[in-house]
Amino acid sequence: MHISYLFVALITCYALINTYYQYRSTRLMLLTATESLFNQIGVQTVRTVEGIYAPALTVVDLLAQQNLMYAFDLDERLESLAYLTEALQSQPSLSAIYIGYESGDFFLVRKLTGASLLGVVQPLPAGTAFLVQSMSNGKGEILYYRHDLSLIEHRLAPGYSFDPRSRPWYAHAIGVQAHQISDPYVFFTTREVGTTLSRRSANGRSVVGADITLAALDTVLVKEKMTPGAALGVVDEAGNVIAASNGQTLMREAGDHMVRQARIAELKQPVLERLLDGKTETGGTKTLNVAGRDWLGYSAPIPMRNGHALFLAVAAPQDELLVEAQRLRTRSLLIAGAILLMASLTAYVVSKLASRSLKALTEEAQQIRAMRFGKPVEIRSFITEIDELSQAMALMKSTIRNFLDIGAAMAAERRFEPLLARILEETTKIAQAKGGVIYLSGENGELVPAQARLDDVALADPSTLPTLAPDTDAAHPAMIAALDKTQLESLLAPALNDWFGAFGRFDRSLTTISIPLKNRQDELVGVILLLQDEKVLRYGVGRELITLVEALSGTAAVTIETQRLILEQKKLLESFIQLVAGAIDAKSPYTGGHCQRVPELTKMLARAACNARSGPFADFGLSDDEWEELHIAAWLHDCGKVTTPEYVVDKATKLETICDRIHEVRMRFEVLKRDAEIAMLKAVAAGGDRDALAAQLHEQLAALDDDFAFVAECNRGGEFMAPERVDRLKQIAMRTWQRTLDDRLGISHDELLRKGAATAPLPIVEALLADKAEHVFPRDERDRLPEGYGFKMTVPERLYNRGELHNLSIGRGTLTEEDRYKINEHIVQTIVMLEKLPFPRHLRRVPEIAGGHHEKMDGNGYPKRLKRDEMSATARMMAIADIFEALTAVDRPYKQGKTLSQSIAIMVKMRDDAHIDPELFALFLQSGVHLEYARRYLRPEQIDDVDVAKALG
């Protein structure tokens, strides 16, 4: 055996040393290759910058010699359009070419591929490839060309004003012969990072400029990214990011609809910040540790044509660079492991031949590992050490079996008080104790008796024992163990019986064993105090068992703490659920206490089903978990209402949104009345008959008052809007009034978008009532039904339609189709919200129960159009509870609560129309649930006689 172990040890040492050497060598090779790669990236980046600037400078130098520099008007300048577009097309980095003249004229040609333009150049005609902007003799013009240079459109731009002589590129170039290059910056028009090249003409009276982008640097950096976690970036001397490899946008908001370049800190790449801290130095390769991770970094300056420089930074995590080295190390370790396995098998065979008893003990160990404790250990050997090992294993097997039995018994109990009783019972049995007490620690350090036993009988009321306080009961054995958090054995004399009060009177000395219960954080949970007969300890029978009890105390403490935490979490969840339900009820007076009453009514009906001894619910029952599931689902059945706007739920009139728009309509009638009065006064001033004109005015005012009264009456809503009333609304809507103020001033951006681009000169004549474009709210993707939930609701095309005539013409009530859908959508949000909650397995049906109370038995409900057989019984119960509560509720300002007989009559019709479950409705009436609920929540005047037999017939 010793030779086998030595052989295995030597192989292990060799494998580890060889693996370490290979890993170090491979690591050094990879890091050296990476440094070379970093230098190549720097050279490639410099070449890229040169490749961007050299062609562009050539174009600028050639243009400075062209006749275009001396052209006097737009027509002469357009003769060079083909040459300019060819130059733009041949150089991908060129964004625009332009000339500023000594007279203040300006001529620009821009290619539009991939650019998003702002201001005067929007909207672009379809097919535009090139844009020409001209400022000639104070006249602004914009021309749009296709790829073949055919003109699409020629626009005058009276608001376009641009003086090139005030621009830095003109001012810097006009006074010198050589070309000028600006530092990188963000182009206003295209939002790209680039520089401007400029040079004056041969006669020194005009300046040609060209915008070049540095987008090619992004491509180089992304292409040269050597590992997934590598970071590459190029910044200018001011710390503005020119290019980066992480795919982030480099633009940032700068206020006033402007953007700026991102700063290096905004890339959230700390390693690049560290590398560029010394960007004024020569740079080179260095090793960095950033956020606990080792990096290999490289930095170098990139010279620019204007005498300034950009700075390149490249960094890669060493753990990614060393993947191959780590893979080689893993393979070496696997080979070494295989060799070790072979050596171990050889050693095992040799040891098996040496001692069969060891094999038998190994099998016993495997039985213990597999938690099989049925057979006792009966292995004997002539080798003394093996025989002692066999006896120790037998004792260990017995101890583990007892420990697991007790642990399983404690784990099986889910209620707190019975759990404490079970812990005390099992502990006293193991310790062969006469009795015992479990104390739980209180908030102020006191010990509160929770369970007590004496002579195998549990104390009915443990609270009769005194609570131990740290100040007054410091000598009590339990308090001493609690304060010291160590096991304590002490002699309990008869004179100390007062500590235990009515628990018992002892005529002989007992030994108390106080064991503190500590949780995982070594905090005191409580104390187990055992009353041990002194004779048991005197003869040494209980010493080993006390050790097991002390080990068991840790499990007991964790179990107690776990149960406490579960109870506290359930209380927290219950409070949170009721908080959500209360918030929903408080959000709108139209819901009242709905979210609080529906759970009670649902549980009344569920209890009636559980108590049924005959009929379809004779076998119906709910476990404790299912009761909890129903309770949570009932309280959260309308949690989606938090997403429903109040101005939709509380829409009391047809024109009401956040405010009632009838006031706006009234003001238009007031305007018409004053217009009529002004017209009469003008007619009198012109020599008309005052009395006749006054009579005519009186008729006009009376007609306007009558029309407004009719509109106001329609606004209040009702059960039915007759066709003739709708026709009269349309006739009133044909009246016109004159608006003199711009209705685009002072409104929100969204409303401005809904109005569209079309405008009309003021003053303008408008209809008295109208359905305008801004009244229609489009439905975007986020307002669609979520996919993957099985929803089958019909979604209106529009999100809202607030047209005045459209809303006033509503047939019944005050809600449009869109408003009604928005209210019904709360159940969709309820299901989505609940499905996202990580409910435990025994609560997995909460979304189904809570989300089914608007379904109908015939499959015409919402949101999933489920039929009766596709719904659980508890979901169908909640549907009945939701309807009955809504019918009888008295705390909703838009209606009075119906009486019992009225509500049951309505629900009978719903049963006949297959809207609610007929069997549950019959149980609802036969069990008297409707009367039980009425006595608790309805007003006395609502409780009238209900003919149950007739309703069931």
Q: What is the pLDDT of residues 344-353, one digit of tens each?
A: 777 666 566 5
pLDDT over 80 at 132, yes or no: yes
Residue 342, pLDDT score: 78
Give the mean pLDDT of the chain.
79
Report the distance separating Cα 232 and Cα 247, nearest Å: 11
What pLDDT, on a 0 to 100 scale, did the predictor assign at position 540? 46
For the residues 72-96, what does the mean pLDDT come to? 86
Query: Rounded mean pLDDT of 194-212?
Result: 86
pLDDT value, residue 499: 58
Instruction: With beta carbons less than 8 A apart as the criterion, state whether 866 and 915 touch.
Output: no
Which stretch, 328-332, 573-577, 886-890, has highest mean pLDDT?
886-890
What digits encode the pLDDT tens for the residues 691-716?
Answer: 999 999 999 999 999 999 999 998 88
So what's the pLDDT on residue 825? 85
In tens, the pLDDT along 791-816 reads 888 888 898 898 889 888 888 888 88
Pick 494 or 884 by higher pLDDT.
884
Q: How high is the pLDDT of residue 607?
A: 93
- pLDDT tens-digit map of 396-422: 666 677 666 666 666 666 667 777 777
Burial of 340 (0-12, 13-18, 19+ CB in 10 A): middle
The arithmetic mean of pLDDT across residues 309-334, rounded, is 74
Cα separation, 85 vs 145, in Å, equals 10
Q: Containing H/E element for 10?
A: helix 2-63
Summarize pLDDT for 446-472 with one digit per residue, the tens.
888 888 887 777 777 777 787 888 888
State the Cα–Cα distance between residues 370 and 384, nearest whole angstrom. Answer: 27
Grouping H, G, I as helix, E, B as strand and the rest as coil, residue 299 is: strand
Q: Are 581 and 635 in contact (CB under 8 A)?
A: yes
Residue 682 has pLDDT above 90, yes or no: yes
**Among the listed residues 151, 204, 150, 196, the one whose alpha carbon sits nearest the alpha carbon of residue 175:** 204
Q: Which of 31-45, 189-203, 750-764 has the lowest mean pLDDT?
A: 31-45
Stronger pLDDT, 364 or 918, i.e. the higher one: 918
pLDDT band, residue 873 (cuts 50/70/90):
very high
pLDDT at 780: 87
With cut-offs at 50, 70 and 90, classify the pLDDT of residue 325.
low
Please, which pLDDT band fits residue 773 given cuts at 50, 70 and 90? confident
* Alpha carbon distance 337, 329 (integer Å): 12
Local confidence band at 560 (pLDDT 50, 70, 90 cut-offs): confident
How far apart CA 101 and CA 164 sit, in angstroms, is 8
Q: Is the pLDDT of residue 94 over 70?
A: yes
- Average pLDDT, integer, range 427-437: 77
Q: How confident is the model at residue 671 (pLDDT cuts 50, 70, 90)?
A: very high
This prediction has a pTM of 0.52
**More confident position, 465 or 387:** 465
Q: Tokens 């007989």 sit at which residue? A: 901
Tens of pLDDT, residues 921-936: 999 999 999 999 989 9
Average pLDDT of span 816-822: 86
Average pLDDT of 470-486? 78
Contact 95, 84 (CB under 8 A): no
Q: Mean pLDDT, to the nearest integer, of 610-623? A: 91
Minimum mean pLDDT among 393-407, 520-534, 640-654: which range?
A: 393-407
Question: Residue range 729-740: average pLDDT?
Answer: 90
H or E segment and range at residue 436: strand 435-441
**Quick one: pLDDT at residue 567?**
76
- Residue of 910 and 744 predicted with greater confidence: 910
Which residue did the predictor score with more confidence, 104 or 194? 104
Q: How far is CA 340 from the centre of its chain?
A: 50
> Quick one: pLDDT at residue 121?
44
* Mean pLDDT (whole number) for 239-259: 64
pLDDT band, residue 27 (cuts 50/70/90): low
Residue 492 has pLDDT above 60, yes or no: no
